[in-house]
Amino acid sequence: MGSLYETLYDILFQPQVGMRNIAERKNVGQAFLVFLPCMIIPIWTFINAFHVNEMAKMMNIMIVFEVIGGMVIWILGATIWNLIAELFGGRGSVVSLFTALGFIHIIRLAIIPLWALVSFMPENSKTFLTMLSMLSVISWAFYLDFIAIKEVHQLSTAKAVLVMITPILVVGLLCIIGTIFIGNFLMHMSM
């Protein structure tokens, strides 16, 4: 367990070193150990602390969906980014990247102290601050994703950024092409 503490410390305070170590150790079991509570605790807190009555009725289902959804995104993220990183000349393995992305879920817990802080703020600013806190956690997670890709695959900063944004660019491009095709099809239909 000692190495888990060290890994978590490194992720939070010296992410480059942390990601390099994770890539070497490939401890998938520990990544799962971090992933599960980090998926469950924030949603449980949200439902119970904010008394979302409608959601409370379906809490168990929501937690299951959250975990399954998180798992799918984790696996897809690891495989797609790994594939693109290899295309860009990356030298890491998919297991290393998968493990690193699993550890990054620890950042989700940062939302809890932020919510606690927001709960003391004036009522009219709460929504904005809640959104801001979530955005900051997401940004931090993205930064760590970037570090993970960079360190696991030993890529340059520019290439790591490209690997990160390539899936978004591809999806955007597909949407544009799809819109053009559908628009063209509808235009012919109406004529």
- Point out which residues bind other proteins (CB under 8 A): 2, 5-6, 8-10, 12-13, 41, 45, 48-51, 109-110, 112-113, 115-116, 119
Smaller CB separation from other proteins, 29 or 89: 29
| Distant-in-sequence, close-in-space partners of 93: CB < 8 Å, separation ≥ 6 | 23, 26, 82, 152
Smaller CB separation from other proteins, 19 or 163: 19
Give least dist CB 83 to other proteins, A. Answer: 33
Smaller CB separation from other proteins, 111 or 147: 111
End-to-end CA distance of the chain: 69
Quick one: residue 163, left, alpha or beta (phi over 0 = left, psi -120 to 50 = alpha)? alpha
Give least dist CB 113 to other proteins, A. Answer: 4
Q: Which of 73, 66, 74 is nearest to 28 (CA)?
A: 74
Smaller CB separation from other proteins, 46 or 88: 46
Give least dist CB 50 to other proteins, A. Answer: 6
* Max Cα–Cα distance, the chain, nearest Å: 70
Give least dist CB 31 to other proteins, A. Answer: 16
Give least dist CB 4 to other proteins, A. Answer: 8
What are the DSSP E strand ranges found in the chain?
Answer: none
- Kind and range of the H or E run holding 155: none
Give least dist CB 21 to other proteins, A. Answer: 12
Smaller CB separation from other proteins, 10 or 145: 10
How far lies 114's CA from each of 40, 119, 135, 138, in Å?
Answer: 17, 9, 11, 13
Smaller CB separation from other proteins, 84 or 106: 106
Instruction: Count the Cβ atoms, other than its own, within 10 Å of residue 63.
Output: 16
